[in-house]
Amino acid sequence: MFTELSDHASGMHQILVWTALELEGLGANLQHLNAIPFFEAIIKSYSGLSPDEVALLTLKAHLNFGDEVDTHPTVPAKLPLNRTFRVVK
């Protein structure tokens, strides 16, 4: 179960870092592009690691962050539950 637990820990760390950046007033966007080998290769090329070190890595996600956020986007109104949830018997 080590791989599964590692994935859970990775997810928890991603959320904590994202929250910390938000608390500092920075915008952030979490990307999960590990299913696209082309993107994974590009990101690994910028790591500055040796080819042997890069071979040991598996990309889970990457968190883009940047400029301070002045305002949050407007949250759209929620649709009624009877339009978004259906029970099929």
Domain range summary for the chain, segments of one domain joined by +: 2-84
Take residue 53 and report the two structure tokens written for it: 């070190």
Q: Per-residue pLDDT tens for 1-38?
A: 888 888 889 889 988 998 898 888 888 888 876 667 88
Instruction: Report the relative pairing of strands 26-31 and 62-68 from DSSP bridges.
Output: antiparallel
| SS3 annotation, the chain | CHHHHHHHHHHHHHHHHHHHHHHCCEEEEEECCCCCHHHHHHHHHCCCCCHHHHHCCCCCCEEEEEEECCCCCCCCCCCCHHHHCCCCC
Confidence of residue 49 (pLDDT cuts 50, 70, 90): confident
Q: Per-residue pLDDT tens for 67-85?
A: 766 676 788 899 999 888 8
**pLDDT for position 34:** 64
Q: Per-residue pLDDT tens for 33-45?
A: 666 788 778 878 8
